[in-house]
A = this chain, B = another copy of it.
Amino acid sequence: MADFLTKRSTDYSQWYTDVVLKAELADYSPVKGCMVIRPYGYAIWENMQAILNKKFKETGHQNAYFPLFIPKSFLEKEAEHVEGFAPETAVVTHGGGKELDEPLIVRPTSETIMYAMYSKWIRSYRDLPVLINQWANIVRWEMRTRLFLRTTEFLWQEGHTVHATYDEAQEETLKILSIYKNFAEQYLAIPVIQGKKSDAERFAGAFYTYAIEAMMGDKKALQAGTSHNLGQKFAKAFDVKFQDQNGQWQFAWQTSWGVSTRLIGALIMVHGDDNGLFFPPLIAPIQIVIVPIWQTDQQKNDTLTLANTLKNEILKEFIVHIDNREQITPGFKFNEWEMKGVPIRLELGPKDLAQNQVTIATRFKDKKSPCPLDNLKTTIETLVVNIQKALFERAKNFMKENTFTVDNYKDFLAANEKHGGFFLVHWCGKTQCEETIKTESKATIRCIPLDTVPEKGKCIVCSEASNERVLVAKAY
């Protein structure tokens, strides 16, 4: 089955496209740069939504929905913001058969339309905090697109909160960053590095941008989520004000934050191998596939009956799929589900039935083992925990093995060129040195890690004093 997948070592990028298409996660659409998310891929997004919604709601956030269209003049109200987004917008110029007086931008992000409403709704400190999240489609005109990683239209959630003080906004910004980190590590089994972005990499209009960065299978970095402390920039542009307890009008403090369908791309690249996908059980669209094996009609009847009992009763708390397709061999099915990344496979043959057992195989391709039906539920529960943990540990070790502390610029350039990975280097903080690194190595300063230990050193480029190391890597 995996014969038709390009090997990762041959062409990582082609391997990625191969698995996305063959596993039917997504497909190219007739509209340039837009993708179709097929049911198997969309189920992952639904799982992500369910987990994040729970976390957002537990922390007091509410969902809402704001318009797709943004008047062009709104985007222009915050200077940095328009500079950042205007070049990549899709513009509606005609509606209902007529040319519009003012063109409408298809939202590339919703700060401007949401804050125009916030300005109307917020009057008093009693109205704060506003803690709103939106699940929506977003359009950014991209020239070079990759399924899930960079598409003209993508799906995301964007949180937009308003607070009475800077401290509260900063606390919210970091609280969300920490929700993202836990989500990535506990559910996606993707270890991430939390950090602050350099000024050059800040979100257009933000005061501070924080992000979680993950290492993909080709050792490149992927920004997996961002959380912005917007300060008062947008509040001033959109007149988001409140009367404080003394009756004084104050500009509010804001945050925004988001993760998108590109996380599905991260899942593929962190856990996939030359045999295809490997989904961590806690996010998998299918956790367990049951392959009944039969030759006679009686065997077919018996194995399908047991398969249904497993799905609807014994294993009902799991996401189970029964592959009952005719005219396809069990071996073909095994390979297909392996390629599609289902973490646990149960084989149900006549011999298993006779012995009141099932045969368990995991996506790790370790030795298959029989399991008596009586123990099945607890065995699977343990397996889910263990596979989840093993995937996380494997990814963590991979990141650790491929993260290098370097102090000499030439060594950095050579290592980055030769084997790539994450590099922890000293940087003076100047945009000029950041630019030099970017130009000469194609790697960028991903972030200033939050858990960095203060350490005296010299900027790897200009040798000026530095107090901490930053994370540098080539990135998606």
Contact = CB atoms under 8 A, between A and B. Distances in A.
A116 B37 CA distance: 14
B36 A117 contact: yes
A355 interface: no
Interface stretch (A38-46, A209-217, A273-281, A455-463): A38-46
B62 A39 contact: yes
Contact of A96 (B39, B64, B71, B87): B87
Query: Per DSSP, are chain A's interface residues mostly helix, strand or loop, or mixed?
Result: mixed
Nearest to A137: B68
A166 interface: no
B92 A96 contact: no
A143 interface: yes
B96 A93 contact: no
A153 B31 contact: no
A132 B103 CA distance: 34
A238 to B, nearest CB: 11
Interface string A18-45: 0000000001011100111111001101
Contacts of A39: 62-64, 132
A417 interface: no
Interface in A128-169: 132, 136-137, 139, 141-143, 152-153, 155
Contacts of A70: 31
Given A31-B69, A39-B132, 7 more contacts: A27-B117, A31-B67, A39-B64, A46-B63, A68-B106, A91-B93, A136-B137
24 contacts: A27-B121, A29-B66, A30-B71, A34-B67, A35-B67, A36-B65, A36-B117, A39-B62, A39-B132, A43-B63, A68-B139, A87-B96, A89-B95, A90-B92, A90-B94, A90-B95, A91-B93, A91-B95, A92-B106, A95-B152, A96-B141, A96-B142, A97-B141, A106-B106
